Structure 1
Amino acid sequence: MKALITGATGFVGSHLADKLLEKNYDVYCLKRKSSNTRWLKDKNVKYVEGDLFSNEALSECISKMDYVFHVAGLVKARTKDEYMKANFESTKNLLEITHRVNPGLKKFILISSLAGTGPAVDEDYVNENSVPHPITSYGFSKMKAEQEVMSYSDRLRTCIIAPPAVFGPRDTEILIYFQTYCKGLNSIIGFDEKYLSLIYVEDLVKGIVLAAEKEESVSQKFFVSMDKAYNWDEIGTVTKNLLQRKAFKIRLPHSLVFSVGYISEFAMGLFGKAATLNVEKCKDITQLRWTCSNNKIKSMLGFEADYSLESGFRKTIDWYKEMKWIK
């Protein structure tokens, strides 16, 4: 089987490449000249030079594929237009090319995000039937990408995977949490109890490949998460036990978080760059419940997560230590 992965040089995409290679797929990776290929080094992948709008290169490659895994996406940008181009227009372009050159493709799989649906507000967990209510430009662009994929359901065999927070080796997002904790500080946003769904990266790619290969996934969307959601006190307890050290817990008021976000966004904007902690990110991290149900993928496809929060954190921490990213 031949598979094209966009975003293969990134965190999730590189783990997906590993999984497909393990299953003896011929793996093709879309790569820009500026891409860092360190996670794919010395692995039996084939590179397709170009970006998500390199139509000639994409057409030639996709025409020979059995699967297209669209993992690439932009999570940090200055404007809504930047998010829309990277996350929506790129998806639209890939779908148009795929329909034109390979309408018999076994599966086109979009890796989206819980952000495309939004946080749980009037329910404990959102599910695949929840009405989308994204709260950020990033989430809106992911919702539009999902809608575009579904609009092709009568012409292509499509599937959407929408994970919540993903963690594991190679990730640099949750790394900041562990680095801060190792310095003796456990920062928690707000004074209310916030919950989030999580998934270890190896479980996520297991779910992605399962959905790709299962006939039942055609024209479906699936959340891929652990069975339960966790609050930050529970996450802190697991972290403390694994690192075998304590950290001073400090709660940051929402007002302070937004103030820092405004200042950071303004300062980085002076240099024409996107801030990591901007106002939209502040909206994101101050929500009460970023939680989703995994009932559908379990019942329809037989998915079961292999990693608990503790076992996933253990592998992640061990890898960070091996890489000397934390001490």
Structure 2
Amino acid sequence: MSRIALITGATGFVGGHLVRRLAGAGWHVRALVRATSDTRLLDEVGAERIVGDLDATDAIRRGADGADTVFHLAALTIARGEAPFVRANAQGTRNVVQGVLGATRRPRRLVYLSSYAACGPARHGRPRGTDETPEPLTAYGRTKLQGEAAVREAERDGLQAAILRAPPVYGPGDTALLPYFRLVKRRLAPAPAGPGPRTHMVFVEDLAAALVRAADAPPGTWAVAEPVEHPWSAVVGAIAGALGTRPVRVPLPPALVRGAGTVAGWMGGLGVFNREKAEEMLAPAWLCDLAGLDALLPPGTATPLAEGIARTARWYQEHGWV
């Protein structure tokens, strides 16, 4: 008998890759979707649709009933002001927890996709441990951290939980890094002046594989990334190499980045850029302690940056995105 998964955020970037992987592994997939969602992929793999959103606790309860694992991926990443983030990421996760705990046949495991933004940047260049006091810089990070707290509360009621903190996720279908690909295609590579930030990255297919393994891995909070610290210059170089361009590096003074963020905030967060996002950009390192990674991404299975960027660029080109 196949295992049953309920996925929130199944029609999103990471969610779509998780749906394919679970269906390919023989899972029966249920997806919490809005009535207006694009469900072509779900229909393609024979997924069951549960109509509702993160406010629909009854729909979540129905979808969770008899499921083996609930994968909570749905989150708001772009908004103006704090309130929308609180409703989607904090209260939405509480609703998911309430629905899971209220199911007649309670799921065995809840897997929550969190973010490096929840714990904040590295301190003094040292990877941040999962047991350190978090210092999120943005409304998104603060509300993802509140979501983590809601999941941990569920553990007190006997629910097994795995929290996966992801760094920037990239790959086929990604729209977050797409504008930077387009800039590099036009031979421009803006970045904060100075040595530039160091960051972990994770290829979307690797993250989807880690999420599936999290259904059976030890409960806890884990950072999931390619186990390599990448200077931003290396990311730019990989994108340029994949697109066959030689971009002009455009150093942005920190004062200019902060000033632009402040002005954008005064104007309502133009392009969702504000002072918080500016500080996020200027953080010298986004690195987390990857202890326990082997259970989620076994050694040698993480996609190297250059390969992942090349595959992403190829997908963008094939679909006319760059």
Q: Distance in 2 between matches of 1:51 and 1:157?
A: 23
Q: Distance in 1 between matches of 2:212 and 2:55?
A: 25
2:120–2:136 Cα contact (<8 Å) kept: yes
Residue 303 in 1 paired to residue 298 in 2?
Answer: yes
What number of residue pairs does the alignment pair up? Answer: 318
Q: Distance in 1 between matches of 2:258 and 2:110?
A: 38
Partner in structure 1 of residue 252 of structure 2: 252
2:7–2:30 Cα contact (<8 Å) kept: yes
Amino acid at match of 2:176: E
1:2–1:27 Cα contact (<8 Å) kept: yes
Q: Distance in 2 between matches of 1:252 and 1:91?
A: 37
2:162–2:221 Cα contact (<8 Å) kept: yes
Q: Distance in 1 between matches of 2:108 and 2:98?
A: 16
Compared with structure 1, are the counterparts of its residues 163 and 265 closer, same or farther at alpha carbon in structure 2 (3 Å cutoff)? same
Q: Distance in 2 between matches of 1:40 and 1:280?
A: 36
Partner in structure 2 of residue 230 of structure 1: 230
Q: Distance in 2 between matches of 1:41 and 1:280?
A: 39
1:42 to 37, 44, 48: 44
Residue 169 in 1 paired to residue 164 in 2?
Answer: no
Partner in structure 1 of residue 286 of structure 2: 290
1:91–1:145 Cα contact (<8 Å) kept: yes
Q: Distance in 2 between matches of 1:252 and 1:172?
A: 23
* Residue-by-residue CA offset, 1:110-129 (whole Å, 9 max, x unaligned): 10101111100134211222
**CA RMSD, 1 decimal:** 1.8
1:137-152 counterparts in 2 under 5 A? 137-152=139-154
> SS of the residue aligned with 1:316?
helix
Q: Distance in 1 between matches of 2:20 and 2:224?
A: 19
* Residue-by-residue CA offset, 1:10-51 (whole Å, 9 max, x unaligned): 101111111101111111111112323455463321211111
State percent identity of aligned pairs: 29
Partner in structure 2 of residue 127 of structure 1: 129
> SS of the residue aligned with 1:133?
coil
Compared with structure 1, are the counterparts of its residues 302 and 33 closer, same or farther at alpha carbon in structure 2 (3 Å cutoff)? closer
Partner in structure 2 of residue 93 of structure 1: 95
Q: Distance in 2 between matches of 1:227 and 1:112?
A: 18
TM-score, length of structure 2 as denominator length: 0.93
Name structure 1 gaps, 5 residues minimum. none
1:173-212 counterparts in 2 under 5 A? 173-212=176-215
**Deviation at residue 301 of structure 1 after TM alignment:** 5.1
Name structure 2 gaps, 5 residues minimum. none
* Residue-by-residue CA offset, 1:245-295 (whole Å, 9 max, x unaligned): 20111111122223333343444x3xxx87332222212111110112323
TM-score, length of structure 1 as denominator length: 0.91
Partner in structure 2 of residue 136 of structure 1: 138
Q: Distance in 2 between matches of 1:122 and 1:178?
A: 30
